[in-house]
Amino acid sequence: MKYKRILLKLSGEALMGDRQYGIDPKRLAEYALEIKEIHDKGVEIAIVIGGGNIFRGVAGASNGMDRVQGDYMGMLATVINGMALQGALEDAGMQTRLQTALKIEAIAEPYIKRRAVRHLEKRRIVIFGAGTGNPYFTTDTAAVLRGVEVNADVILKGTRVDGIYTADPEKDPNAVKYDTLTFEDVLSKGLNVMDTTAFTLSQENELPIIVFDMNKKGNLIKVCEGEPVGTTVNV
């Protein structure tokens, strides 16, 4: 395996499957099997999941809701997704821990960096919920922050697109995919990989990002083995 410890970033929308909102148990089970495949190969796995399938603070704010209130609602949505993913992973036979940036002792441990690292060393999958615990920060930023804190080798951003393109491939049929990019390339070309805060944090800490299609069976293990899947952004 090329990567010993990864931070896997999943969008909340990914859990919807073919539904319009909410969580698709079938999609959850599929992800659990993909994750089990790399877990069985010895990869240490931390996961950050979004909450867009349930609630988005930015969308709430655009409709007149207080932005801070909306962002906290979004954080709670990520905890719901984290619990759902935790259940699916444990059903597939893996040990997990859910840690949250907001204290919710009845269902999750508070986020403590040393404890998270110890869980990873003991081969438990650690799911980080509630983003950074602060409004105005996305789950992309939470993913990079946690990745840096637990010394992950790479950020794997699992999406429904198979990499980074010159334009949105779902809208522009002439869009061309990049295999590799530098952080400077992304900034100079104005490519949308992650929000600026997350991307800058990744760049400053020289933490590579790989954007790939999580919905294609076998892609996750190929990425961890170092195969050229998706788009790699590096120094």
pLDDT at 41: 97
pLDDT at 6: 98
Number of domains in the chain: 1
pLDDT-flagged residues of the chain (< 70) = none
Structural domain that includes position 104: 5-234
Q: Rounded to the nearest 5 degrees, what angle is found at the Cα of 52, between the Cα atoms of 47 and 57?
A: 110
Q: How many residues does the chain have?
A: 235
pLDDT at 193: 87
* Ranges of H-type helices in the chain: 25-39, 57-62, 67-91, 113-121, 139-149, 183-189, 196-204, 219-224
pLDDT at 62: 78
Q: What is the pLDDT of residues 24-63, one digit of tens each?
A: 999 999 999 999 999 999 999 999 999 999 998 777 777 8
- Contacts of residue 51, defined as CB under 8 A and 6 or more positions apart, other chains included, come to 12, 74, 75, 76, 77, 78, 80, 81, 139
pTM over 0.75: yes
pLDDT at 63: 82
pLDDT at 220: 98
CATH number at residue 33: 3.40.1160.10
